Structure 1
Amino acid sequence: MEAFLSSTLAVAIAEIGDKTQLLSLFLITRFNRKRAIVLGILIATLVNHGLSALLGDWLGTVVPPDWGRWLIGGSFIAVGMWMLIPDKDDAGPSRFEKLGAFWATLILFFIAEIGDKTQIATVLLAAEFQSTFWVTMGTTLGMLIANVPVIMAGQWLMQRLPVKAAHVVASVLFIGFGVWSLIM
Structure 2
Amino acid sequence: MQAFWISLAVIFVAELGDKSQLMAMTFATRFKPLPVLTGITLATALVHLVSVGLGGLIGDALPTTAISIAAGIAFLGFAAWTLRGDELSDEESGKAARTTRNAFVAVTVAFFLSELGDKTMLATITLATQHGWFGTWIGSTVGMVAADALAILVGRLLGRHLPEKWIRYGAAAAFAVFGVLLLAEPLLR
Q: TM-score, normalised by structure 1?
A: 0.63
- Cα distance in 1 for partners of 2:114, 2:133 equals 21
Q: Is the 2:21–2:147 contact (alpha carbons within 8 Å) kept by the matching residues of 1? A: yes
Residue correspondence of structure 1 range 33-44 to structure 2 within 5 A? 33-44=32-43
- Cα distance in 2 for partners of 1:21, 1:11 equals 12
Letter in 1 for 2:135: W
Select 2:125's aligned residue among 103, 111, 123: 123
Post-superposition offset of 1:154: 2.0
Post-superposition offset of 1:139: 0.6
Residue correspondence of structure 1 range 12-23 to structure 2 within 5 A? 12-23=12-23
Deviations 1:72-126 (A, max 9, x none): xxxxxxxxxxxxxxxxxx9353448987210011000000101100000011000
- Cα distance in 1 for partners of 2:128, 2:109 equals 24
1:26 match: 26
1:143 match: 144
- Cα distance in 2 for partners of 1:91, 1:22 equals 13
- Cα distance in 2 for partners of 1:30, 1:154 equals 9
Post-superposition offset of 1:10: 0.4
Post-superposition offset of 1:155: 7.0
What is the identity percentage for the equivalent residue pairs of Structure 1 and Structure 2?
A: 36
1:9 match: 9
Q: Is the 2:28–2:156 contact (alpha carbons within 8 Å) kept by the matching residues of 1? A: no
Post-superposition offset of 1:57: 1.3
Compute the RMSD of aligned alpha carbons: 2.4
- Cα distance in 2 for partners of 1:23, 1:146 equals 12
1:65 match: none
1:56 match: 55
Which secondary structure does the structure 1 equivalent of 2:138 belong to?
Answer: helix
List gaps (5 residues or longer) in structure 1.
61-70, 72-89, 158-184
1:83 match: none
- Cα distance in 2 for partners of 1:38, 1:52 equals 20
Select 2:107's aligned residue among 105, 109, 126: 105
Post-superposition offset of 1:59: 3.0
2:75 match: 91
Post-superposition offset of 1:3: 0.7
Which secondary structure does the structure 1 equivalent of 2:75 belong to?
Answer: coil
- Cα distance in 1 for partners of 2:155, 2:30 equals 11
Deviations 1:16-37 (A, max 9, x none): 1000011011101122x10101
* Aligned length in residues: 127
Letter in 2 for 1:120: L
Letter in 2 for 1:23: M
